[in-house]
A and B are shown apart, each in its own frame.
Chain A
Amino acid sequence: MTPNVTDATAQRMSEFAPPFLATRPIVEVKSVSKTYPGGIEALSGISLDFPEGRLTTLLGPSGCGKTTLLKIIAGLIPASGGQVFVDGREVKGPGPERAFVFQDFALMPWASVIRNVAFGLELRGVAHSEREAIAERHIARVGLKGFEKKYPHELSGGMRQRVGLARALAVDAKVVLMDEPFSAVDEQTRRKFQEELLELVANEGKSFIFVTHSIEEAVYVSDRIALLSRRPSRVSAVIEPKISRDGDPDKIRRDSAYLDVVEEIWQQLKHYLD
């Protein structure tokens, strides 16, 4: 990644970023449906826009197809119908403008932290010294400086997910896709992650698509939340939590606007529980 691009993006954002989400959509999902072989209908005609430079969350009950939609956007699974556009181009498969952060980290156990982080660049044929330099920067960025030569099994779950995150950042994709990235880490680490994620969204100029089943997490980190219904999934609501994110994180979690949005979403999701 080059600092210039980031600066330019940041500049563009400060020029155009009026109060909320007036930026153009970076990812457009147009009436996407997915039926698995065997007839299980996971998604049914989903249309959704994801604003550039922001974090949009797919939120819904377990097994509702959030991950399926994310993987269709990633180009990992083909859609049965409809189209997905990223940066104006139709998705036909995985592409360099998207990077994926996996729920189970998907780290290579035989490779050191630095090689895992540099893996995307290694696949693109970036020279060894160059990709290690980039990887080192991103390892430091996610707070793992000094752990470059460690192996995944020597790290805690939270540290492993930092490696996964650094790997996704290292390829400098415009869109970062995160599939329940914090579900396998403990609550304290999870809160720390959420704060760091907000910082990342504010400073990187990248667009984030985030999947979670935690209402609090979604409200805390998102600029926009798409609520998905149970299978076959549709978008049941789009919510834009207007929460002021400056200041003390603990204050935000007690903020009445924050609590109201959590309550509103809970009321909508409650009836899926029986």
Chain B
Amino acid sequence: MVISGIRLPLMTSLIVWAVIWEIAGHTDAGFILPPLSSIIWRVFEIVPTPSFLDALLITGRAFLFGNAIAIGIGVPLGILMGRSVIADRLLLPWVNLFLSAPLSALVPVIMVLFGLGETTIVLTVVLFSMWIIVLNTRAGIRAISPSLIEMARSFGASRWQAFSRIYVWAALPEILAGIRLGMIRAVKGVVIGQLLVSVVGFGTLFEIYQSHFLMEHFWALLLVLFSFAFTLNELLAGLERRFAYYAASR
């Protein structure tokens, strides 16, 4: 927006909302929504505690493991579906199904099968992030210009060379977009998993703060999580833009 000739960047309005939040926190709503300033103080208080660092470690580990598995399975699966009509027709209905299905309903299944531990959280992350990676990779592979593949073949590229030197690179913008979307879903998945399991990582903290009505602590935790998710999204989007130039010139 432009005010008297000065362009205000989009996110600057968050300052307005922060002020509104601070004021609302000093009214009766303060019981549910404490003032932002006291929540920020609380962030500095809880972040160095062992229970927080422990939760961060467990959650971060589950997040990274889960994403690694999702990428490790999702990208090859997407390439396979992009190249083989039969594999595509066999698998696409399932990928589409899992992409739009309410996956939160499947978390209880993972819980009864794998117990209330880290494995369940990792699998929840995989379940949330994998499908969009598969679908984007598939789209990227299918968008490769046939003349690029013919070029590789006419210069005598072997199957492996065509795969590693052409397919992966040509589809990279879409694959990266898929990984970014997958990671955003994974953040949601890891939180949903921990809310439902509630004895692992941040789930434990949520449970403690909630049962003791520690609203400032709870909001502090939310602030940390939301900032992390937003920063991650921006970082990945920035990375994606660096590769987008050649998506446009294909």
Q: Consider the complex of A and B and state whether they touch directly, i.e. have CB atoms less than 8 Å apart.
A: no
